[in-house]
Structures are given as structure tokens and as C-alpha cells.
Amino acid sequence: MIKAVLFDLDNTLIDFMKMKKISCDAALDAMISAGLELNKSKARKLLFELYGVHGIEHQQIFQEFISKVHGTVDYRMLSAGITAYRRVQLGFLEPYPTVRPLLVKLKEKNLMLGIVSDAPRLKAWMRLTEMGLSEFFDEVITLDDSGELKPSPKPFELALKKFKAEPKEIIFVGDNPERDIRGAKQAGFFTALAKYGQIFKSKKKEADFELKKPVELLEVIEKINEQKS
């Protein structure tokens, strides 16, 4: 029987890339107005190339970006970009449709709920709180807690310890086949791929289940429990 449901955060519960793209466009407009010598299309391409190198959560990404274009950091330009990014970010950070009803139903079934995210601790909690989702979760495991990125076994081992459950009593939902699904499967969890938020593609079909929308997870849990009974 499933006792705990664990989720990745970005692109699984939160439509993170929608927010990221809109916020970055606002930042680029502000930096161009402040003197950035690059047109919008080329600037966007370069910025996301840098995200690809340094990671989507890289804290110094705009410094890296401005240095790449101008050879040094222009702080007028940097402050304009960061301010525009933060102003837009809050308006577009939102859960996927059906996420909130799903979480309500899972809690009604007395299931333990958790997050296993590669985000820093404060960022993970801020996102959950800004969307009014923090009260649903019993445990939030972040990079600061485990010290290693998925698919390292450490975040999943920590989840097992926190929830005091057997691996096959847990299902993990994530959007990244290489990090989320592979790591959770190696830990022995049931796995569900969040196809609705998937950005990183994989030719291998490793997940036990695939979800076209979050609420489909309820049927998946029922199916697992029926097989176990």
C-alpha cells in the first residue's frame, strides 16, 4: 500500500519554465534599456545557454551573462535585470491546473506528502509558500538537506528516513527522467513521470507510470494499492 507521495517541485507541481521564460524576458528588456549591447533574440539564446552550463538555479547567472557580453559586470545593468526579474516572477509563479485539488484528495486519504527538490532550501519553501501549498507537505527535502543533486541516492535515502516507510510504500512524481525517475527507481520507489511538465526528454521509458495531468496520480495510486491487496 502506498503510504507517502513525494514530488519534485519545479515543472512537477509548479509551472516553473513558464515563469522562468517570462521573467527572463523582462530582465533582458530591462538590461537592454540599461545599455546591454545585444538584441533580444541573441540575448535570450545566450542566457539560456548559460543556464544549460551553470544550472537553472544558478544564483549568479545575470553576472555571468553580462560579463560574457561586456567583459565585466555593469551594476546598473545588473540591478535593472534582477529587479525586473523579481517583479515579474511573483505574478507568474503558479501551480499546474489540478495540483491543488490533487493535494487535497491525497491528504483526505491520509497519505504523507513530501518534496524532494534540487532547489536550495529557502527557494523551495518560498515557492511553496507563495503559491499557498506549504501546508500540504509533511517534509521538504532540498539540496541543502541532502548535499547532493538527484539522481544521487542521498535525497531519496533521506526521504526514507524521514517518512519511516519501505521503498514500495512510496511513489515519486517528477519531470526529469535522468534525475527524478532514475534516482527514485534506484531507491526502489514507484515512479510517475510528469509528462505535462517534462522538458528533458529521454528515449528510455523508465517510469512505472506517466501522467498527462497531475490529477491522474489518484488513479495510479488506486491501481498500485489494488495490486498489493
Which cell numbers in the block locate residue 117? 527538490
Domain boundaries, the chain: 4-15+95-228, 17-92
Class of domain 17-92: mainly alpha
Q: What is the DSSP letter of 96?
A: P
CA distance 110 to 162: 17
Mean pLDDT by 10 residues, the chain (229 residues): 96 90 96 97 96 85 97 97 92 88 97 95 91 95 95 96 96 95 96 92 85 97 87
pLDDT at position 175, please?
Answer: 94
Q: Are 115 and 128 in contact, with CB atoms under 8 Å apart? A: yes
- 229: number of Cβ within 10 Å: 6
Can you give the pTM of this predicted structure? Answer: 0.82
What is the CATH number that goes with domain 4-15+95-228? 3.40.50.1000
pLDDT at position 228, please?
Answer: 66
pLDDT at position 149, please?
Answer: 92
pLDDT at position 229, please?
Answer: 60
Beta bridge partners of 193: 174, 210
Which cell numbers in the block locate residue 66? 553580462
Measured in degrees and rounded to the nearest 5, phi and psi for residue 27 equal -65, -40
225: CB partners within 8 A, 6+ apart: 1, 2
